[in-house]
A and B are shown apart, each in its own frame.
Chain A
Amino acid sequence: MNTALERYHQKIAAAATQDMVLNMGPQHPSTHGVLRLELITDGEIVKEVIPHMGYLHRCFEKHAESLTYQQTIPFTDRMDYLASMNNSHVWVMGVERMLGIDKDIPKRVEYIRVLVCELNRIASHLIAIGTYGIDIGAFTPFLWCFRDREHIMGMLEWASGSRMLYNYIWIGGLFFDLPVGFEERCREFIEYFRPKLAELNELLTDNQIFISRTANVGVLPLDVAINYGCSGPMLRGSGLKWDLRRVDNYSVYPELDFDVPAGTGEMGTKGDCWDRYKVRVDEIEQSVKIIEQCLDRLQKELRRTPDFDPRAKLPRRLAPKAQDYYMRGEGSKGELGFYFITDPTGKSEIPFRVKARGPSFNNLSVLPEISKGIMIADLIAIIGSIDFVLGELDR
């Protein structure tokens, strides 16, 4: 018998005699998916949080051991299903680097990849912001965010044929070129979206009720964030400008001009829920900036030509030589990593072992640490500000 399991059972049994053990989830709307939080509470004070996950475990890593690199791309889409493009982008870049073809990818393909990734990042952050509002009790921002996100979903469906799970970015290229008129449609969207973002800021960001619910709540100090492996808006909310798009300079990000927003403690303490929320809002603005630059390039020097084939560089055989490689990239939630061990013979198209490092997994692991001694209502605010996706946590 596992001793850690016994210790856990004893803890719950002992708590049940004096404190209250409360199950939040797995079907609680504020847990953003099927996550169960076991709370040991004293009245309304949370003494301890024990997260239980795995309800969405689909054995991604086991599947990847029996599928080729190309066949696994749709599985990576299903990890963080709110930002599928970012997942497949990181996967594809990792395989390309192992094959040594990452320098041969045409510029137009790279810019289209970044364009769709940033569109998807905006969509993901809109969900984070909208659902955060609804957790705190503001219903309107949720509807506004979903309305605007629907435009992005529509555009990406137009490009890839699917609404959420795209299978669009392929190793060596793309599944399709962008449809004719996509760039113009995208510009129309940006023009439409800019004022809506300002409106959203007026409604939620500067809302006094929202600030009182989130400022000084769930403060995550920077050293704790680093030690718990937090990344993305979680880490940047604590005040560190750490963005892998800038640190690793992958794809065409070095050619693009954008800032890395970080939390400043404007409304309360640095690293509180409001800071994490604000980082996401600022990142949407930066993504809009990136998208405009991509569109400029795609409409001028990298314009579509009739003979352009996005699958021209697709390798016929996808067998990297025996090695192992850890590829990391900035997903919408943080550092998304894939650790590949290729087949030891160097002839197979199927990896020997794949490990996926999802940012949500590490971001959630800090929750028990920062939610000791808080009120249950604040716990909801903290969960919302972490913005995890259970598809990625459980894989």
Chain B
Amino acid sequence: MMLDDIKRLLTERFGADVITGEETGGLQPALLIAPERIADVCLELRDNPATYFDFLSCLSGVDYGVTANRFGVVYHLASIPYRTQLTLKISVEHGRDTEDLPSFPTVSNVYRTAEWHEREAYDLVGINFEGNPDLRRILLPDDWEGFPLRKDYKNAEYYKGIKID
């Protein structure tokens, strides 16, 4: 199933505003999805017999830079029966305050593997996932401050009163 067919399928099912754009310049084309619909889109793509994207290969949280002030999540889906791949992207403009995190719906109820991937995105990039059952830090200690993969992250000088060299 080609990208155009997937686009048609999604617009027929969810309306024209579910796809906000597409990137076809690179080696792998990507669909830009309206952030609030991502879980529905993933569920449809997973269960529709014409697509069967049943395997979430990778979920990456991205900070698009200090000037862009944009945070996003990239989903790499794979279909085992059809041997195809698909990239979905969602993003939102948001401030860089670490108290007020950008927030997206979780897909962990569609792909259980997303639960840990979302924890990692929360831990390192500082993205909140609404509905994730266990959104704790996963790689860093629970009391770590800041989100290291953000572009404006400053290295911590102290951890629990111990100087970090």
Contacts and interface: CB of A to CB of B under 8 A. Distances in A.
Interface in B23-70: 25-28, 30, 54-58, 60, 62-63, 65
A7 B135 CA distance: 10
Contact of B76 (A4, A326, A352): A326
Interface stretch (A24-32, A53-61, A189-197, A272-280): A53-61
A5 B142 contact: yes
Contacts of A325: 26-28
B74 A339 contact: yes
Interface residues of B, number: 39
A62 B74 contact: no
B113 A228 contact: yes
Contacts of B55: 226, 229
A326 B58 contact: yes
Contacts of B74: 324, 339
Contacts of B6: none
Interface in A235-290: 240, 242, 247
Contacts of A369: 112
Interface stretch (A73-81, A128-136, A178-186, A353-361): A353-361
Contact of A353 (B62, B138, B139): B62
Contacts of A374: none
A113 interface: no
Nearest to B133: A4
Interface string A1-25: 0101101100000000000000000
Contacts of B139: 53-54, 57, 394-395
Given A8-B136, A328-B57, A61 B124 contact: yes
B165 interface: no
Contact of B134 (A4, A326, A337, A361): A4
A324 B140 contact: no
Contacts of B54: 226-227
Main secondary structure, interface of B, reads loop
Nearest to A230: B113
Contact of A362 (B27, B60, B116, B135): B116
Interface in B119-140: 124, 132-140
A175 to B, nearest CB: 26
Contacts of B141: 54
A220 interface: no
A7 B26 CA distance: 43
A8 B142 CA distance: 11
A62 B148 contact: yes
A247 B63 CA distance: 32
A387 interface: no
Contacts of B80: 226, 240, 242
A56 to B, nearest CB: 9
Interface of B: 25-28, 30, 54-58, 60, 62-63, 65, 74, 76, 80, 83, 85, 87, 111-113, 115-116, 124, 132-142, 148-149
19 contacts: A2-B142, A4-B135, A5-B136, A54-B138, A62-B148, A62-B149, A65-B149, A97-B27, A226-B54, A227-B113, A229-B56, A324-B30, A325-B27, A335-B57, A337-B57, A339-B76, A355-B60, A362-B113, A395-B139
